[in-house]
Amino acid sequence: MPENQTVSEEKPASSGSNGAAPSLHGATAAKARKDLGDEKIIAMYRQMLLLRRFEEVAGRQYQMGKIKGFCHLYIGQEPVAVGSMSGLEEKDYVVAAYREHGQAIAKGLDPNAVMAELFAKSTGCSKGKGGSMHLFDVEKRFYGGWGIVGGQIPTAAGVAFASKYRDEGAVVLCYFGDGSIHQGAFHEALNMAAKWDLPCVFITENNKYAMGTDIERISAILDIQQKAVSYGMDHAQIDGKDIFKAYYGFKEAIDRARNESRPTFLDVITYRFRGHSMSDPAKYRTKEELQDEMDHDPIKRMETWMLAEGVIDEDALKSMDKEIKDEVKAAVKFAEDSPFPDPSELTTDVYVEWNWDIE
Amino acid sequence: MRKILFRDALNEAMSEEMERDPDVFLMGEEVAEYNGAYKCSVGMLDRFGPKRVIDTPIAELGFAGIGIGAAMVGMKPIVEMMTFNFAILALDQVMNTAAKMRYMSGGQLSCPVVIRGAGGAGGHLGAQHSQSLEAQYVHCPGLKVMMPATPYDAKGMLKTAIRDPDPVIFIESEILYGSEGEVPEEEYTIPMGVADVKREGADCTIITWSRMVHFSLDAAAELAEQGIDVEVVDLRTLRPLDKEAIRKSVKKTNRVVVVEEGWYWASVGSTVADFISRDLFDHLDAPVGRVHQRDIPMPYAYNLEPLSLPNKDNIVEAVKRACYVD
């Protein structure tokens, strides 16, 4: 992808008179069909829909009081997690921020275990001790789940350092929001990752808002790829609303990390349909802006393309949606039925070697 | 037994552990080509190469995070902070990441990183380079904290810290780097969480650590001439605290003075004093005494600096007070 490409030039026309979402970028989608095959494409769609349905249900369960604390939904950003991870190998690592339910499931975590974690149950992927912002699954090589904005960026570089040191050939995908790029941790990590050629892809999920603050109000520059220029790091802007453009954009960066052990900085243009967290009514953006984005819902756009190209038909879409809804319903039931952590769990897992009394 | 410098004992510990385990590496500012700002890593770049002895930019938060991230996936990094004054910049990675990964992941992760470097008062270095910051780390569950006082302890404790599966904060008194002490040629380690009685005595216990061990021993020698027999307990590990060693000594002497180089408010010394006053109340014949730095930033003026720091005379005075001796 050319470095100076911007998403605004690529944005498809508004929805047609029939109300359907516009399709995907035709040439990229055609190439994807050839490269990936329909089965893989349907699997990618299914994954996006699973993230969507999972989050819709998580939002409802939050409102019902089943999920507490902070809860940041991924709705609207699905092509980022699915597009990036569709090009990964099992041995690759993912490190994410606190809007990470989507990345966790895309990396292969069991939705039951993720939902149970949100419900604070012992069957959760972090035994109920982590919560929405701290999902972990070492076996799946999913390393959080960070609540400190930008804190995961040096840590992810450290995972990449280890991968390179041990010659694992594993790539690290590090996700963070556009709010993170002003943190010192971001800049310190990018400098070292570039200097030391670490196999890490730094993914800005640029949804335009750092919580309630429009990037235009706080960033000295808006073409944030320029941040990477100062570290001599490869960079690109990616259309994170078109699954195939996202897939190819990420693939180039992942290949560079794997084959050349070099990092990439990505400015991925995306949008969240919900507020920053469940308590945010998102009054800092206009209804028109939100409506326009929802008219270009990336899942709907993929549907439009798949139906037009005959990758799938309406019936199959409907039955897939039902299947996914059942799957998410089952995750809720699993979480409901699971026990809370035993009180004895309160003081475990603080240290590996721990033979003294607390307090 | 041969005598070596404190800094060389640290070098031996790191080098031996790097020989022993290929996952151990050293990173930090000036550790490689410059041989360490305090010359703790002399020769290590030549011996182990740039892959394992790594000069970093001046970016404490960033390279602490890289070390911690590498530890999260099973490596055993030694992250050198030129001084712990600068490690304040890395506190987010230490407290929010290293200390919490295991708990937040429900026990899936561990973080076997060692963060080590110079701490405590320097000499005429002014306010930003003369701080005893161990309380910051001791405060935080998930961390372990070690502070050696002698070359022997430095070597044995650092080897233990490197092998430990949890994050260890290892603070070395800057003033002690050039001190000399007996260190055997043979392999040994010193266990985590075990204090050491540096001097036995019957009349009063001094509980202390790091550089203040030496001040306390000097004070004990002077007090012995005055007929007061002082026991000096070197905690060595501050978290976990060796409560049994404290109990044992205080039950014997019934009087105790806690000596620390840093500030007194919400400090390690205050927590030790709190423990003693609650756990050993019935064994005390006097209130728990405390000696500490004055509650001010360190002045540069070298006539004022010694007035801020604890010294032998303060300690002698505090022990006499605890013994009700004028």
ipTM of the complex, rounded to two decimals? 0.96
* CATH class belonging to B196-322: alpha beta
Q: To the nearest whole angstrom, how far is the Cα of A247 from the nearest Cα of chain B?
A: 27
- Inter-chain CB proximity A155 and B164 less than 8 Å: no
- CATH 3.40.50.970 applies to domain B3-182: yes
Given B129, B134, B214, B305, the catalytic residue: B129
Q: Of the candidates B73, B107, B110, which has its C-beta nearest A348's C-beta?
A: B107
- Do residues B21 and B76 make contact, with C-beta atoms less than 8 angstroms apart? yes
Please list every residue in chain B whose beta carbon sits closer than 8 Å to the beta carbon of residue A184: 59, 61-62
- Inter-chain CB proximity A351 and B66 less than 8 Å: no
Q: What is the pLDDT of residue A20?
A: 83
Q: What is the pLDDT of residue A353?
A: 85
Angle at which helix A26-63 crosses helix A314-337, to 10 degrees, equals 30
Q: Is B278 on the interface with A (CB under 8 A)?
A: no
- Inter-chain CB proximity B66 and A189 less than 8 Å: yes
How many interface pairs between A and B have CB atoms less than 8 angstroms apart? 154
> pLDDT of A32-71, one tens digit each?
999 999 999 999 999 999 999 999 999 999 999 999 999 9
Please list every residue in chain A whose beta carbon sits closer than 8 Å to the beta carbon of residue B113: none
Q: Is A58 on the interface with B (CB under 8 A)?
A: no
Residue scoring higher pLDDT (B222 or A2): B222
Question: Which chain A residue lies closest to B144 (C-alpha atoms)?
Answer: A351
- Is the pLDDT at B137 greater than 90? The verdict is yes
- pLDDT > 70 in chain B, percent: 100
Q: To the nearest whole angstrom, how far is the Cα of A216 from the nearest Cα of chain B?
A: 27
pLDDT band at B241 (very low <50, low <70, confident <90, very high): very high
Q: Is A129 on the interface with B (CB under 8 A)?
A: yes
The residue of A133, A182, A202, A351 whose CB has the most chain B CBs within 10 angstroms, and thus the best one to mutate to test that interface, is A351
Please list every residue in chain A whose beta carbon sits closer than 8 Å to the beta carbon of residue B166: 351-354
**Structural domain spans, chain A:** 28-335
* Mean of pLDDT over chain A: 94
Q: How far apart are CA B231 and CA B250, in angstroms?
A: 9
SS3 of residue B212 by DSSP: helix
Q: Is B310 on the interface with A (CB under 8 A)?
A: no
Please list every residue in chain B whose beta carbon sits closer than 8 Å to the beta carbon of residue A163: 73
Q: Which residues numbered 74-103 in B keep a CB inside 8 Å of some CB on A?
A: 74-75, 92-93, 96-97, 101-103
Q: Of the candidates B62, B69, B96, which has its C-beta nearest A148's C-beta?
A: B96
Q: To the nearest whole angstrom, how far is the Cα of A45 from the nearest Cα of chain B?
A: 29
pLDDT band at B326 (very low <50, low <70, confident <90, very high): confident
The residue of A182, A353, A354 whose CB has the most chain B CBs within 10 angstroms, and thus the best one to mutate to test that interface, is A353
Listed in sequence order, the residues at least 6 apart from B292 whose beta carbon sits closer than 8 Å to its beta carbon are B259, B260, B261, B262, B263, B264, B267, B269, B310
Q: Is A93 on the interface with B (CB under 8 A)?
A: yes
Q: Is A185 on the interface with B (CB under 8 A)?
A: yes
- Is the pLDDT at B161 greater than 90? The verdict is yes
- Inter-chain CB proximity B72 and A159 less than 8 Å: yes
Known catalytic residue at B60: yes
**Out of 3.20.20.140, 3.40.50.970, 3.40.50.10470, 3.60.15.10, which CATH number does the structure's domain A28-335 have?**
3.40.50.970
- Inter-chain CB proximity A191 and B68 less than 8 Å: no
Q: Of the candidates B62, B74, B110, which has its C-beta nearest A185's C-beta?
A: B62
> pLDDT of A74-133, one tens digit each?
999 999 999 999 989 999 999 999 999 999 999 999 999 999 999 999 999 999 999 999
Asked if B3-182 and B196-322 have one fold, the answer is yes
Tokens representing A346 are 């309160």
Q: What is the pLDDT of residue A355?
A: 79
Q: How far apart are CA A111 and CA A102, in angstroms?
A: 10
- Do residues B6 and B175 make contact, with C-beta atoms less than 8 angstroms apart? no
Please list every residue in chain A whose beta carbon sits closer than 8 Å to the beta carbon of residue B279: none
> pLDDT of A238-278, one tens digit each?
999 999 999 999 999 999 999 999 999 999 999 999 999 98
Q: What is the pLDDT of residue A162?
A: 98
Question: Which chain A residue lies closest to B76 (C-alpha atoms)?
Answer: A162
pLDDT band at B34 (very low <50, low <70, confident <90, very high): very high
Q: What is the pLDDT of residue B122?
A: 84
- Is the pLDDT at A2 greater than 60? The verdict is no
Please list every residue in chain B whose beta carbon sits closer than 8 Å to the beta carbon of residue A156: 69
- Is the pLDDT at B262 greater than 60? The verdict is yes
Q: Which residues numbered 329-348 in A keep a CB inside 8 Å of some CB on B?
A: 348
Across the range A20-27, mean pLDDT stands at: 92
Given B12, B17, B29, B60, the catalytic residue: B60
The residue of B104, B166, B192, B279 whose CB has the most chain A CBs within 10 angstroms, and thus the best one to mutate to test that interface, is B104
SS3 for chain A, per residue? CCCCCCHHHHCCCCCCCCCCCCCCCHHHHHHHHHHHHHHHHHHHHHHHHHHHHHHHHHHHHHHCCCCCCCCCCCCCCHHHHHHHHCCCCCCCEEEECCCCHHHHHHCCCCHHHHHHHHCCCCCCCCCCCCCCCCCEECCCCEEEECCCCCCHHHHHHHHHHHHHHCCCCCCEEEEEEHHHHHCHHHHHHHHHHHHCCCCEEEEEEECCEECCEEHHHHCCCCCCCHHHHCCCCEEEEEECCCHHHHHHHHHHHHHHHHHHCCCEEEEEECCCCCCCCCCCCCCCCCHHHHHHHHHCCHHHHHHHHHHHHCCCCHHHHHHHHHHHHHHHHHHHHHHHHCCCCCHHHHHCCCCCCCCCCCC
Known catalytic residue at B182: no
Q: What is the pLDDT of residue A16?
A: 45
Q: Of the candidates B63, B166, B193, which has its C-beta nearest A352's C-beta?
A: B166
Q: To the nearest whole angstrom, how far is the Cα of A138 from the nearest Cα of chain B?
A: 6
Q: How far apart are CA B159 and CA B295, in angstroms?
A: 34
**Structural domain spans, chain B:** 3-182, 196-322
Q: What is the pLDDT of residue A68?
A: 96
Tokens representing A147 are 């609540």
- Is the pLDDT at A15 greater than 50? The verdict is no
